[in-house]
Structures are given as structure tokens and as C-alpha cells.
């Protein structure tokens, strides 16, 4: 049976969903049997609240850009269909799953929980196991595994998910994607997008995540500090 994995990232109005912060961008990249399918899921979302100035400095997304975008309840059904049963790969998973669970609650779907819909691998915890005592931010891992992140001048959910997919494949056995200068993808709303990142093959020893890695997403320890590790 084919293994379906989804690499997921979000951008938000701030750091704490408990204080009313919201998801403003969600990007997902699908892998089947460790190969990119280009069946991506990507939306910008209207949060119905102001974005913190500090968050804008990180991702560059402003309220004006989001005024005509859908709200989270409008994408809830296609999102849950896309995620259902997948193995999620998320860098600092507690941050993103926490925001998603809060969005489910606000949308009237409080019975939904990411950890019950999917298994979750926290790539930050995996990187810390493989590289103890070293920097394990996404940028640091790109440098370590020779992954091209030259377009990452600001955070972006879909771009970061694409980069994380390459990093995860490198960390767990080597890159298996086609080495193309230009890759095309189809997003959830039917748009064709192009990425100019060159995918570089990397051959390293395979290291499978253990149970501790799979359970790490449920822990909220040091959330604020760990979120900063993604930059």
C-alpha cells in the first residue's frame, strides 16, 4: 500500500491562539512513497483581526492582502478531506497543530483534532535527535543538507512546506524528487504555480523516527522559543 505523507506549514497573525491569533496561510505538500505528487493544498485566509507587527516582519503578509480571501470555515471541508489519514510532517508540530485545533473549534468542528485525524512527525524533534547540540532551524538544515532555500527571504507556508519536504527526505534517507530547475504544482483552488528551486540529491543514512518523535507534537513546552527556531 502506498504511503501518503503531507508536509504542512502555517503562517499566523501572532504566536498564541489562546489570545485569539489566527491562521492566515496554510500550505501543504503531498508525498506518496517519498515522491512529490504536486497535489498541493494552499490558501491565504482572512483572519478577521489585525496581524501583529512582529508577525508581518516574519512573513510579510498584511491585512490588506487578505481582505478578499476566504475564512477558515470555508476551507474546512476540503482541508479535512486532504489531511484525513495522512502522515503529517511539521517543523515544531505543536505550534501548527495547536493553531489548527483552535481553528476547528472556532469553526464549530471542535470534535476534530489533528492528532486524531493523522499521525504526526515533528521534524524539529527528529533533527534534534540526529544533530544534538546544533542549530536545527529550517535554514540551518537546508545548509546542512545542501537544500536550495535561496528564495526564502520571508516565511511563506507553501514555500516552507516545499523546502521542509526536501529536508525531511534528506534527513530520512535521501532526496527522491526529480531534479528540475522549474517545478509546477496545482493548488487547492486550481491555480498552477511554479517553483524555481533546484532540488539537489542527497544520500545519507536512513533514520526512522521513534515513538517519542511521533508523540512530541502533543507537547507545548517552550512553544514561543521553539517557534523562533523556524526562522
Q: Is residue 160 part of a domain?
A: yes
Query: Does the residue 192 lie in any domain?
Result: yes
pLDDT number for residue 212: 55
Cα–Cα distance measured from residue 50 to residue 69, given in angstroms and rounded to the nearest whole number: 14
Cα distance between residue 123 and residue 216, in whole Å: 10
Instruction: Let me know if residue 80 belongs to a domain.
Output: yes
Strand duo 35-36 + 41-44: pairing? unpaired
pLDDT value of position 152? 86
Structural domain total, the chain? 1
* pLDDT score of 2: 77
Query: Domain for residue 229, yes or no?
Result: no
Cell of 16: 498564541
Name the residue with cell 532526496. Answer: 175
Structure-derived torsion over alpha carbons of residues 49, 55, 61, 66, reported in degrees to the nearest 10: -10
The set of catalytic residues is 155
pLDDT (0 to 100) of residue 154: 81
Could you tell me if residue 230 is inside a domain?
no
Does 167 map to a domain?
yes
Helix, strand, or coil (residue 10): strand
- Residues in the chain predicted with pLDDT less than 50, given as ranges, are 175-184, 186, 188-207, 214, 216-225, 228
140 domain-assigned: yes
Q: Tell me, yes or no, whether 170 lies in a domain.
A: yes
Task: Write the CATH number for 55.
Answer: 3.30.420.10
Q: Phi/psi of residue 72, each to 5°?
A: -55, -45
* Residue 80 belongs to domain spanning: 4-222
Amino acid at each position: 500500500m502506498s504511503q501518503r505523507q503531507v508536509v504542512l506549514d502555517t503562517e499566523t497573525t501572532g504566536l498564541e491562539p489562546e489570545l485569539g491569533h489566527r491562521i492566515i496561510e496554510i500550505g501543504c505538500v503531498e508525498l506518496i512513497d517519498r515522491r512529490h505528487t504536486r497535489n498541493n493544498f494552499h490558501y491565504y485566509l482572512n483572519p478577521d483581526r489585525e496581524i501583529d507587527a512582529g508577525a508581518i516582519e516574519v512573513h510579510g503578509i498584511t491585512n490588506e492582502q487578505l481582505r478578499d480571501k476566504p475564512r477558515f470555515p470555508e476551507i474546512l471541508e476540503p482541508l479535512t478531506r486532504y489531511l484525513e489519514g495522512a502522515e503529517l510532517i511539521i517543523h515544531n508540530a505543536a505550534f501548527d497543530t495547536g493553531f489548527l485545533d483552535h481553528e476547528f473549534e472556532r469553526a464549530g468542528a471542535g470534535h476534530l483534532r489533528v492528532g486524531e485525524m493523522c499521525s504526526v512527525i515533528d521534524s524539529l524533534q527528529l533533527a534534534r535527535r540526529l544533530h544534538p547540540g546544533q542549530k536545527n532551524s529550517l535554514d540551518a538544515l537546508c545548509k546542512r543538507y545542501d537544500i536550495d532555500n535561496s528564495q526564502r527571504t520571508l516565511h511563506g507556508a507553501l514555500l516552507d512546506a516545499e523546502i521542509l519536504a526536501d529536508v525531511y527526505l534528506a534527513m530520512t534517507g535521501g532526496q527522491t524528487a526529480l531534479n528540475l530547475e522549474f517545478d509546477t504544482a496545482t493548488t487547492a483552488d486550481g491555480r498552477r504555480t511554479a517553483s524555481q528551486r533546484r532540488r539537489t540529491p542527497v544520500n545519507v543514512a536512513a533514520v526512522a523516527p521513534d515513538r517519542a518523535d511521533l508523540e512530541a507534537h502533543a507537547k507545548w513546552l517552550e512553544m514561543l522559543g521553539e517557534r523562533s527556531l523556524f526562522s
